[in-house]
Amino acid sequence: MVIVESYGVAVVMCVVTMMCWGSWANTQKLASKEWKFQLFYWDYTIGVLLLTLLLAFTMGSIGSAGRGFLADVRQADMLNLQNAVIGGVIFNFANILLVVAIDIAGMSVAFPVGIGLALALGVIDNYRVEPDTYKAPILFLGVACVALAIIVNALAYRKLSTDKKTTMLGVVISILCGIAMGFFFGRVAGTISKDMVNPEVGKLTPYTALVFFSVGLILSNFVLNTIAMKWTVSGEKVRAMDYFTKGSPKLHCVGMLGGAIWGVGMSFSMIAGDAAGYAISYGLGQGATLVAAFWGVFIWREFKTSPQGTVKYLALMFVFYIVGLALIIGANKSVFGG
């Protein structure tokens, strides 16, 4: 299988992760002009699965180092396979909440609030497991900056919306998304061998973990997205047959493209994490929040009708996020030394 050992290549892959995770939702914005987000989401999950299978049978199966995909599946411990699948289920629950929040409030609100909260919870969880790895004062100052960015973003959205119920619903769903999203990554990463050249017996390679993660994602979609189709924020309920009768080939391709873009980001993060260092990998990946907010504010113009004074809130949000991410990355002793 292909193993990334170069620090420079790994960092570039982490930057790609940041861009992919922050940009996939543009496909939802495009598709939502013609059909409901629940229908888009079926294609999204298919795109993730196809992308991870493609990588498993190419990058995950060539070369002399490590274990090939099929050989890795045959030797894998069932508990690790189950945890990868469960990680996909947890992610799917969180991500459906995210696409609902995007539908209600837009990218520039859903990502900063939801993914920002996931970042804060993930950092706290990492600190609980490995407290000696971090400089606690710097780490929690970074978390505090991210929390301030979330609050400022919510205030900006409140100034934009004239419907207080919709405002509250968009923020609440984003918060629920963040709580769930903060705990899927660690479960999947825990199934992966720490030695890629000579993988541990029973553990998984990143390629195998990603495929079973995707299986959990698409299987749980038959329950979770079916519920989402029956519960709509506005308009009529979505029928399953609409997927086949209302979707053009172009719309299906847009949804699958969105899933593939997110899948590239997830795959690169897992593959490059060991070589880049997980502090760099995690920090750069969560920079997706800034990328998504940029798309929402400057490209989709989600705040174009906002009253005077909103711009300062958005500027403060970007500043707090940038400072917070820098502090979280710098708090890891392995980055700048103990």
The residue-averaged pLDDT of 251-269 equals 95
Rg (CA), the chain: 20
The H-assigned helical ranges of 7-132 are: 7-23, 25-31, 37-57, 69-75, 78-105, 107-110, 116-129
The residue-averaged pLDDT of 131-140 equals 82
Of these ranges, 89-103, 232-246, 248-262, the one predicted with the greatest mean pLDDT is 248-262
Helix (H, G, I), strand (E, B) or coil at 193: coil
Tell me how far CA of residue 104 lies from CA of 26, 80, 302, in angstroms. 15, 36, 11
pLDDT of 87-106, one tens digit each?
Answer: 999 999 999 999 888 888 88
| Residue 304 φ then ψ, to 5° | -65, -25
The residue-averaged pLDDT of 73-84 equals 97
Residue 289 · residue 119 · CB < 8 Å: yes
Q: Does pTM surpass 0.75? A: yes
CA 246, 250, 255, 256 torsion-angle sign:
positive
Question: How many Å apart are CA 22 and CA 25, to the nearest integer?
Answer: 7
Q: Tell me which of 14 and 250 has the higher pLDDT.
A: 250
Q: Tell me which of 286 and 63 has the higher pLDDT.
A: 63
User: For residues 31, 36, 40 and 45, what is the CA-based torsion angle, rounded to 10 degrees?
Assistant: 150
pLDDT of 12-34, one tens digit each?
Answer: 898 899 899 989 999 998 998 88
Question: How many Å apart are CA 246 and CA 233, to the nearest integer?
Answer: 20
| Residue 195 φ then ψ, to 5° | -105, 110
